[in-house]
Amino acid sequence: MCGIIGIVAQTAVNQAIYDGLTVLQHRGQDATGMVTADNGRLYMRKENGMVRDVFAQQHMERLRGNMGIGHVRYPTAGSSAAAEAQPFYVNSPYGITLAHNGNLTNADLLRQALTEDELRHLNTDSDSEVLLNVFAGELQRIGRVRAANEDVFAAVRAVHRRCRGAYAVVAMVTDFGVVGFRDPYGIRPLIIGVRESLLGTEYVLASESVAVSSLGFRVLRDVAPGEAVIIDRDGRLHARQCAEAPQLTPCLFELVYFARPDSILDDISVHKCRMRMGEKLAHKLHRVWPDHDIDVVIPIPDTSRTAAMQMAAELGIKYREGFIKNRYIARTFIMPGQGERKRSVRQKLNPIELEFDGKNVLLVDDSIVRGTTSQQIVQLARDAGARKVYFASAAPPVRYPNVYGIDIPNPQELIAHGRSEQEVCELIGADWLIYQDLDDLKDAAREGNPGITEFDASCFDGQYVTGDVDQPYLDHIGQARSDGAKQLRAVAARDELQIVV
C-alpha cells in the first residue's frame, strides 16, 4: 500500500506536497519521494525513510516549480532498495514522472514485452516502473512533438487495455501538466480537490480526502474507475472516461485498516463505516453469546478504536483505554519481516495494569493477519492481570493473499488460512474469539454509498475481481512476498550497486 499526491498550483508546490505526504505517511513508511517541474526542468528527491527524514531544507529549496507529484511507499513483492523509491522517471517522450499505488497482476508479461518488443530499459523490479513505461510507450507511439489532451487520454485507454490489477496513478508530463487515473475497478482510491487562490484555480489529486482537506482544498469528487483527469499547467481540469466497462469495486481493507478515520473514500466515511462495523459485531456477539461475562472493552490502538467504542456502547459495557502506544514505532503490519514485527510489539504497546487486573476483558482489533501480534497482545493482557481474555476482530478471517497492492502475503503465513476460528483462538491464546461476518462488513461499507454493488474482498473470500488471478500466480507472489524472500532482498539491497536517476 502506498500514498500518492499531485498538485498544480499558482505558486510553489514543494511545501504543500511535503505536508500532504506527511498526512499520508500511514500508507507507507519505507520510502518517500517528490518531483517538481519549473520552466521545463525537473527537480527530484527520493530516498528510503520517512517524509520528515528524507526532505531537509536544502532539498526543499531545490524542489522548485508550481506543479509536482509525491509518493510514500511500503514494498510488497518489490525490493526496499532506494532505487525503487518513487516517483520514477523516463526522459522520452516529453519527460514523464509517475507515482503509483497498487499492484499489476500481469507485470511479468508486460516487463517482457517492454524489454523485448519495445526495447525499453527497466532498472528495477517495481511494477510501477513497468506501468510508467507502458504509459510513456503509448504516448511515444502517438508521436507528436508536444502532447495534447487527446493524446494523454488515448495513452490511458491503452494502459487500461494492457495493464491488469489495481492502480491509482499520478503522473507529471513536463511542460504539460499532471495526469491522474484509476484502474477500471477503482480498487485503489484517488480523490480530486480544488481551491481558489488570489492568482487562480489550483487542483490536487491524493489517495485520501484527508490529504486534500488538510491542505485547504475542497474535496471535489473521487476519480471514477477507469477515468483519467488532466490538470494542465495553466490550472484547468479535463476529465475523460477511458475504460470500456468500468465498475466501482473498491477495496474493503482500505476501510478496515489502511485509511485514516477522518477520510472519505468513494463517498464512504471511514469513521462511520468503522462505527457500523463495531455495531454489527456487537449484534453478532449478542446473538452467539447472550449471557457473556465481559467486564470491559479495550481497543488495540489505533485503528480499532472506533469499532471498539461502538461495540462497548451497543453491549452496554465499559470502554477503557488499556494500552499506551509508543508513537515512534512503525505499524507492525507493514514491517518487512516477522522478526521485526515480533520485536516491535512490546516496544509499541504497554498495558495499563489497573484496567486489566482481575477483569474479563474483550480486546478489539481491526483484523487478524499473521496472528503474531494478536498472540503477544493477549499475553500482555494476561501478564497485566486479566482473569480472562476474549478477542474480537472487526474484520472477517483473513485467509487469502491480497494481490492488489496490500502486503497480505503467502497464505501459509496467514493464521486463519486453512484453520477454523476455534483453532485461531487457541493459537493466539485467547479464551474466546469472535470475527465479523463478511456480509455485515460489506453492509457496513455499503451503507455509506448504496451505489456500490460489490467490493474487493479477496483477502477474505478468495474472489479476485479482475478475473485474471489463478493458482500459479498466487504461488508466484506467495514466494515473492514471503518473509524469507523479503529478508533476502533486504540483504541484496544493501550489497548491490544501484543506478539511481
Q: Scanning the structure block, which residue is given the C-alpha cell 522520452?
A: 92
φ, ψ of residue 42 to 5 degrees: the values are -105, 145
Q: What is the 3-state secondary structure (H, E, C) of 245-302?
A: CCCCCCEHHHHHHHCCCCCEECCEEHHHHHHHHHHHHHHHHHHHCCCCCCCEEEECCC
Instruction: For cell 507502458, name the residue.
Output: 134
Grid coordinates of 22: 506527511
Q: 3-class SS at 221? A: strand
Candidates 44, 100, 103, 95; CA nearest to 68 is: 44
The residue type at 100: H
Residue 190 CA to residue 450 CA, distance in Å, equals 19
Q: Indicate the helix (H) or strand (E) that contains 169.
A: strand 165-173
Dihedral angle over CA of 129, 62, 59, 207, nearest 10: -50
Is 2 one of the catalytic residues? Answer: yes
Torsion of CA 418, 421, 422, 426, to 10 degrees: 80
- Flag whether 475 is marked binding: no
CA distance 114 to 163: 12
What are the beta bridge partners of residue 237? 231
Q: Cell numbers of 292, please?
A: 457473556
392 CA to centre of own chain: 23
**Rounded Cα–Cα distance for residues 479 and 114 (Å):** 24
**Is 366 known to sit in a ligand binding site?**
yes
Tell me the backbone φ, ψ of residue 408, rounded to 5 degrees. Answer: -105, 110
Active-site pick, 2, 251, 273, 425: 2
Q: Binding site for Mg(2+): residue ranges? A: 303, 365-366
Catalytic machinery residues: 2
Please report, in range form, the residues annotated as the binding site.
Answer: 303, 365-366
